[in-house]
Amino acid sequence: MSYAIFATGGRQFRAEPGRTIKIPLLEAEPGSKVVFDRVLLASDGKRVHAGKPVVEGAKVTAEVVRHGLEKKIRIYRFARRTGFRRHAGHRQRFTEVKIADVKVG
């Protein structure tokens, strides 16, 4: 089974063909293809190739499925004995992609 660890949006993700993952928001239309070439580690099922810092010639091809918003998180600040209370909410935007292919190089 081939897989790869790639970096995008300041985070790292494990990609396997056929798997759907949520990554930070990309500027791409649903249905379009995207290529991630910052592959940090790749495996073809027999050997594991580690990059220094990236694996040369390796790339991950994916199709954009949809854009969306994560579940809301609540931020609450509190200072005891002073009556200070603040609250806010945040919903992180994401892009859901389906991994089509992992090329080791």
pLDDT tens for the 105 residues of the chain, in order: 899 999 999 999 999 999 999 999 999 999 999 999 999 999 998 999 999 999 999 999 999 999 999 999 999 999 999 999 999 999 999 999 999 999 987
Secondary structure, 3-state, 37-97: CCEEEEECCCCEEECCCCCCCCEEEEEEEEEEECCCEEEEEEECCCCEEEEEEECCEEEEE
Domain boundaries, the chain: 3-103
pTM of the model: 0.85
